[in-house]
Amino acid sequence: MNIEIILGQEFGISPTHTKNIINLIDEGCTIPFIARYRKELTGSCDDQTLRSFYDRLNYLRNLNKRKEEVENLISEQGNMTDEIKKALDSALTLTGVEDIYRPFKPKRKTRASVAIAKGLQPVADFILKQNNPNLEEFAKDFVNAEKEVNSVEEVIAGAKDIIAEMISDNANLRKKLREFFEKFAKIESKCALKEGEEVEGSYVYENYFNFSSPIKNMSSHRVLALNRGEKEKVLKVNLTVDQDKALEIITSMFITKKSCYKELLEEVCLDAYKRLLFDSIEREIRSELTDSANEQAIKMFEFNLKPLLMQPPLKGKVILGLDPAYRTGCKIAVINENGSVLDTSVIYPTPPQNKVEESELILTRLIEKHKVDVISIGNGTATKESEIFVANLIKKLKRKITYAVVNEAGASVYSASKLGAKEFPNFDVALRSAVSIARRLQDPLAELIKIDVKSIGVGQYQHDMPQARLGEVLNGVVENCVNSVGVDVNTASPSLLSFVSGLNSGIASNIEKYKNENGMFKNRLELKKVPKLGDKAFEQCAGFLRIVNGDNILDNTGVHPEAYKATEKLLKMFGLTDEDVKNGNIKHLPNLIDEKGAEKVAEELGIGVPTLTDIVNELLKPGRDMRDDLPKPVLKSELLDISDLKVGQVITGVVRNVIDFGVFVDISVHQDGLVHISEICKDYIKHPSEVLKVGDEVVVKVLSVDVNKKRISLTIKGVTEEEKEQAIGAK
């Protein structure tokens, strides 16, 4: 199997670029580095394509490795044939390889293995030849009391068991049956609860108490819902398929048209199907459905996480973080424009204490003392009451102030972590959460990377996912975001630095230690003085680390040090200087390059056109944060309650989560509303992600409200242009 050819065909990449990507990966280059600084070698493949390429490369290499293992195992048994070797060579999946190995795989004790041990294999072979009617005469010779074979009937029964297992182990048959199931099988579920039995939360599965769907039409969220319902013993789930048609597939392979053993073999085929094949194929199909659903769900995590991490930072603001609670009180932390903690407190405006006036006095004092601009409220327990309290307080303040509700998922994880304890050793866990909630609004990326990304709370069924795979993909998203934005090496925390291409937690700690001992970095080359940051690590990380107000203006851009000479030559070519770059006097550079010809300029500089384009883009915006171009966080000053909502009401909201069957929208009533996929737009879409992402601002209309179940149904497509304009105007 030629991996390069397969990858090139699957990804539509030329043979040269395919080979280059594999070589770069094998050299230890990171995906962000390859995507950003090796475009000429890859044909400008983006980060997402390269990550998919990397995953597929690993799969194919593991497939080749398993093929070699299976070939050696079969050869050691002395069973290798040209036919088996050809089948192994042409297998394209691990499942296909395991099907080929199945007949030769050492088995636990089975009815067939017992019969074989009793010497009945020749009888099975005799029957399968289907040309000699004298079976009982032939079987007599195998009656053997010492082997506990006491009659001809027992001989034939043992032979039938052997044939049934041979049928079950046939790789071609299993492939055909699997394809048949994939096309025609249905997945069904029924309520597994006994009459009168109640399980907390079982109403969630009401739609699946009498459910049936062709497996080819099953969406990933339904598969995951069935799996969870089955795991919680609320649902009983199984596959159904036309047994007669399945048997036709089996008998057509094992019974000749004029067989004198037709009836006997039909009986064996039925036994093989019901006792061995059906359950096995069902497990495989459901496993494949689950794997596919998991991958889709993980993709949704990936899709939702990136815009969450890439939310624009709220720069230059003093922020008060409020971690809501009931009995233990709301923890307060005020941070300055740089994220340093200025003050902390605890207030009790919520039940059971209800010390509203006292809490207003404390919060007012903090706001006036530190000139707070924004209040950041966590969206956990007691958020509704805390938000009402804050909204009412804002109306009484002289200072203009706004608030935002932020996703506090994972804040408690960070607060109880070693990192949280190291950052704030004198704070209790809840106060650390308040700081984290404030910082999440101030700089979401810098704060959220401190938390295990699986705990951030976007997507669906995160606890049901294969955790290693989920972590791998989500960490890739974090790595992509961090390196896309770039990191100020002099202000970044070790947590943030550890996600930079080429770095790890050890080197990140060494960078922090170097800064503490030697002061701020003045230029990128100084990074080489950091212990364990060798030439390879420097190559991978240097372009993503920024040095503000350093010795070289290029150190505050995404231009890699390896391209500094070409960049200086470019500026000199058109009579420009570093001062022109600092002062923004190079806006005409793209026009100058176009006049001369980009290819000619690139050739004179000894670089490719993609690299030239990237250099020019960086020179036009030194030090600029790409997140500043994205929609700013939504800040509020008043609050609605779910009971205030009316059917037909039009409201502006923000997309908080995108899932397979719709999107959840924050409409400032504490409980997010659901816009079903059918209510997103008038045109048909396969998935909500085609038109919406986390952080998008939308205008929605209320379709229904269930206060008891806290369910809000919304529509986007049902909003008229006039209603949309009025809602935006009111906002």
d(CA 57, CA 22): 8
Query: What average pLDDT does this structure show over 641-655?
Result: 86
Residue 17 has pLDDT above 60, yes or no: yes
pTM for the whole structure: 0.79
Same domain, residue pair 427 and 329: yes
The CATH code of the domain that includes 92 is 1.10.10.650
CB 230 within 8 A of CB 290: no
**693 & 616 share domain:** no
Q: For residue 490, is it left (φ>0), alpha (ψ between -120 and 50) or beta?
A: alpha
- Tell me: do 583 and 665 sit in the same domain: no
Write the DSSP assignment of 578-608 as a string of letters: HHHHHHT--TTHHHHHHHH-HHHHHHHHTS-
| CATH code, domain carrying 666 | 2.40.50.140
- pLDDT given at position 694: 85
Q: What is the mean pLDDT of residues 327-343?
A: 95
In a domain, 192, yes or no: no
Residue 39 CB partners (closer than 8 Å, separation 6+): 45, 608, 610, 611, 614
**Are both 611 and 692 inside the same structural domain?**
no
- Domain identity same for 445 and 345: yes
Q: Are 697 and 656 in contact (CB under 8 A)?
A: no
Find the domain containing 40 and state its range.
3-104
Mean pLDDT taken over the chain? 92
577 and 660 both lie in a single domain: no
Is the confidence at residue 643, as pLDDT, over 90?
no
Confidence of residue 639 (pLDDT cuts 50, 70, 90): low
Q: State how far the Cα of 540 lies from the Cα of 517, in Å rounded to an integer.
A: 24
* Triad 183, 189, 192: Cα angle to 5°: 155
Q: Where are the beta strands (DSSP E) in 398-538?
A: 402-406, 487-488
Q: Is residue 328 part of a domain?
A: yes
- The owner of tokens 């006097």 is 585
CA distance 619 to 554: 8
Q: Give CA–CA dist 18/2, Å, rounded.
A: 12
**For residues 60 and 7, is the Cβ–Cβ distance under 8 A?**
yes
Residue 456 has pLDDT above 80, yes or no: no
Low-confidence winner among 165-174, 483-492, 583-592, 717-726 (lowest mean pLDDT): 717-726
273 within domain boundaries: no
Q: Which of 123-137, 147-161, 188-202, 352-366 has the lowest mean pLDDT?
A: 188-202
Residue 311 lies in a domain: no
The residue written with tokens 């080197």 in the block is 507
User: Could you tell me if residue 339 is inside a domain?
Assistant: yes
User: Measured between alpha carbons, how far is 506 from 50 in angstroms, rounded to an integer?
Assistant: 26
Same domain as 437, residue 346: yes
- Kindly give the interhelix angle for 220-231 and 278-309, rounded to the nearest 10 degrees: 110
Average pLDDT of the segment spanning 81-104:
93
pLDDT 10s digits, 519-536:
999 999 999 999 999 999
In this structure, how many other beta carbons lie within 10 angstroms of the beta carbon of residue 356?
Answer: 17
> Where residue 153 falls among pLDDT bands split at 50, 70, 90?
very high
| Residues 393 and 339 reside in one and the same domain | yes
State the Cα–Cα distance between residues 505 and 449, nearest whole angstrom. Answer: 13
Task: Tell me, yes or no, whether 511 and 606 share the same domain.
Answer: yes
Say if 90 falls within a structural domain: yes
Closest CA to 499 of 483, 520, 523, 513: 483
* Same domain, yes or no: 623 and 665: no
CATH number, domain at 344?
3.30.420.140
How many whole angstroms separate alpha carbon 451 and alpha carbon 140?
Answer: 72
Q: Examine the pLDDT at 729 and tell me if it is beyond 80.
A: no
CATH code for the domain of 598:
1.10.150.310
pLDDT in tens, 348-370: 999 999 999 999 999 999 999 99
Tokens read off for 481: 């975001």
Which of 435, 451, 467 is the last residue in one of the domains?
451
The answer to whether 625 touches 485, Cβ cutoff 8 Å, is yes
Can you tell me whether residue 64 is helix, strand or coil?
A: helix
The Cα–Cα gap between 561 and 437 comes to 37
Pick the closest to residue 457 from 380, 381, 376 (CA basis): 380
Enumerate long-range contacts of 115-121, CB under 8 Å, 24 or more apart.
115/158, 115/159, 115/161, 115/162, 116/162, 118/142, 118/144, 118/147, 118/148, 118/149, 118/158, 119/144, 119/147, 120/149, 120/155, 120/158, 120/159, 120/162, 121/162
pLDDT in the model for residue 730: 59
Same domain, 615 and 661: no
Q: Where are the alpha helices (DSSP H) in 397-453?
A: 411-415, 418-423, 429-442, 444-448
What's the angle, vertex CA 372, arms to CA 371 and CA 373, rounded to 5?
115
| Domain-terminating residue out of 104, 126, 144 | 104
Same domain, 440 and 344: yes
Q: Provide the 8-state DSSP code for 272.
A: I
DSSP designation for 135: H
| Structural domain count, the chain | 4
CB 618 within 8 A of CB 558: yes
Does 152 map to a domain?
A: no
In this structure, what token pair is assigned to residue 314? 């709220």
Domain end call among 574, 608, 629: 629
Evaluate whether 390 touches 377 at the Cβ level (below 8 Å).
Answer: yes
Closest to 474 measured CA to CA, from 454, 449, 502: 454
Residue 621 included in any domain: yes
Which pLDDT band, with edges at 50, 70 and 90, does 396 fall under? very high
